[in-house]
Amino acid sequence: MEEKIVQLIKAAGVVGAGGAGFPTHVKVNANAGHVIVNGAECEPLLRVDQQLMSQKADLVVKGLEVVMEATGASRGTVALKGKYHDAIKNLTRAVAGKPIDLFILGDFYPAGDEHVTVYEVTGKIIPEGEIPLKVGCVVNNVETLVNVACALEGQPVTDTYLTVTGEVPKPMTFKVPVGTAMQEALALAGQDNLEGLVIIEGGPMMGNVVRDPELPVTKTTKALIVLPEDHPLIRKRNMSLAHILKQAQVACIQCVRCTDLCPRHMLGHRLSPHKVMRGIKYLQTGEEVLNMALSCTECGACEYACEVMMLSPRRVNAMLKQELGKNGIKLTPSDGREAVTPGREFMKIPSQRLVSNLGLVPYNVPAPLEEIDYRPGKVTIPMKQHIGAPARPVVAVGERVERGQMIGEIPAGSMGAMVHASIDGVVREISNHIVIEGDGVGGVAK
Ligand code: SF4
Ligand code: SF4
């Protein structure tokens, strides 16, 4: 049965919906004792997972049970925050009599960093550069488990749930077909004029500024946050790398606060962002500093920490990681003897303070989940929405396809994920994406 589960998940093209899109059939093809659902959703303004856990509690638990069966795990835990009252109520009912418990995480950022989540739930530290399996755990995102449950019924991933919020008339959460243009998703929330506005795809801490609103949503899109172009968060995001580096060199006072608040440093990892800043300042980026950059998750807690000088160790690390990646340099494994720093409990960043610090209080509003049946006139489906090799197109231009039909396969001998048509229509273009023109004009089906 375990092999059959893995094959069904693979055939459905399920990838981690909450991060970089790690193929789920690869993740669950392992032996683990404990499967943890990461329901922290700790980035401000995001509202997908908390509502899925409430409105689709049975599906989430079913997905969790499937992964437990595939991995042979005897224990399952849904880790979520105490403020998700409806989710807690519905999940408590859904897990009754099952070897699954709920774990209430503190309301801090980044409770959803999987190293942090695993430590909070189990008390075990995943060594630097390792994955949760190293300590016997598999961690899955909430929407991923909904997709796993659907995969067992033969339903491939064709849609993605996302929160559209910020400077929009009607903040809301809904699902749209993969490949829908972002500007269409924004229009569903009432925002069809983007003049003077900027879109962030993902959370305000880790998301990216979108330069082209016609770009498609993918299996991993969790949120589109619209902010005025003069919002402090956008101004900071738009700072050039040259400016960031210059600031790091002239303004870092080595106060160490960024290191004190770095969640990976607090788990005993060798990462000390103030030392990276010192290395940049004195142009001394030796092996120790480079290793630090490689273990950075780009969570942005260090930017929050540097509220006086307003520097960005995160951007500096990201730049170093990019350069090291180009040269094939990887993290040197640690000795696995990490220990939590004293006082960690008192150094966590409270979510409410983060929202306030980011200037997001006016936008910290509900974005209710509504089940709509949106049918775009056209979708642009990337062949790479996941970690690993891009999918290989298996359709031709002019070919008619149906929603759910496989249009991209995993190249032989590679790690990757299958890709499926998200609407009925005709293939109009094939490159590193497939464009499908739908039947009729787009809109919300009645
Ligand atoms: S918090 Fe800012 S000023 Fe202090 S060490 Fe870190 S980067 Fe430098
Ligand atoms: S972004 Fe900053 S706080 Fe987050 S892991 Fe990297 S160095 Fe640590």
Task: Name the pTM for this structure.
Answer: 0.95
Q: What is the pLDDT of residue 1?
A: 63
Mutate to test the pocket of ligand 1, among 244, 277, 302, 308 (most ligand atoms within 8 A of CB): 277
Q: What is the mean pLDDT of residues 48-52?
A: 98
Here the CATH number for the domain that contains residue 196 is 3.10.20.600
Instruction: Specify the residue with its C-alpha closest to ligand 1, atom 3.
Output: 252
Whether residues 206 and 246 fall in one domain: no
Q: What is the pLDDT of residue 326?
A: 86
Q: Which ligand 1 atom sits closest to the C-alpha of 251?
A: 3
> Does ligand 2 come within 6 angstroms of the Cβ of 296?
yes
Distance between CA atoms of residues 263 and 238, nearest Å:
25
Instruction: Specify the residue with its C-alpha closest to ligand 2, atom 1.
Output: 298
- Euclidean distance between the first and the last CA atom of the chain, given in angstroms as a whole number: 39
Domain final residue, candidates 371, 398, 432: 371
- Cβ-contact 190, 170 below 8 angstroms: yes
- Cβ-contact 248, 274 below 8 angstroms: no
> Does ligand 2 come within 6 angstroms of the Cβ of 305?
no
Q: Which ligand 2 atom sits closest to the C-alpha of 262?
A: 3
Q: What is the pLDDT of residue 334?
A: 81
Mutate to test the pocket of ligand 1, among 254, 307, 317 (most ligand atoms within 8 A of CB): 254
Whether residues 28 and 138 fall in one domain: yes
In a domain, 236, yes or no: no
Whether residues 206 and 248 fall in one domain: no
pLDDT tens digits for 334-391?
887 889 999 999 999 999 999 999 999 999 999 999 999 999 999 999 999 999 999 9
> Does ligand 1 come within 6 angstroms of the Cβ of 281?
no
The Å distance, Cα 300 to ligand 2 centre, comes to: 6
- Alpha helices (runs of H) in 42-174, residue ranges in sequence order: 48-55, 57-71, 85-94, 114-122, 142-152
Instruction: Specify the residue with its C-alpha closest to ligand 1, atom 2.
Output: 306
Q: What is the pLDDT of residue 441?
A: 62
- Alpha helices (runs of H) in 166-217, residue ranges in sequence order: 182-188
Whether residues 423 and 366 fall in one domain: no
> Does ligand 2 come within 6 angstroms of the Cβ of 264?
yes
pLDDT score of 103 more than 60: yes
Q: What is the mean pLDDT of residues 298-311?
A: 94
| Low-confidence winner among 30-34, 237-241, 394-398, 405-409 (lowest mean pLDDT) | 237-241
Tokens 């210059």 map to which residue?
A: 246
> Does ligand 2 come within 6 angstroms of the Cβ of 301?
yes
For 32, 182, 230, the CA distances from 196, given in Å and listed in that order, are 49, 17, 8
In a domain, 431, yes or no: yes
Here the CATH number for the domain that contains residue 434 is 2.40.50
* Confidence band of 442 (pLDDT split at 50, 70, 90): low
Give me the sign of the Cα torsion angle 369, 44, 165, 181: negative
pLDDT score of 243 more than 60: yes
- Cβ-contact 258, 307 below 8 angstroms: no
pLDDT tens digits for 188-217?
999 999 999 999 999 999 999 999 999 999
Q: What is the pLDDT of residue 446?
A: 53
What residues make up the domain containing 415?
Answer: 373-446
The Å distance, Cα 239 to ligand 2 centre, comes to: 18
Q: Which ligand 1 atom sits closest to the C-alpha of 256?
A: 5
Looking at every residue in the chain, the average pLDDT score rounds to 95
Here the CATH number for the domain that contains residue 21 is 3.40.50.11540
> Does ligand 2 come within 6 angstroms of the Cβ of 220?
no
Tell me whether residue 318 is exposed, middle or buried, using C-beta atoms within 10 angstroms of its C-beta: 0 to 12, 13 to 18, 19 or more. middle
- Cβ-contact 326, 84 below 8 angstroms: no
Whether residues 19 and 143 fall in one domain: yes
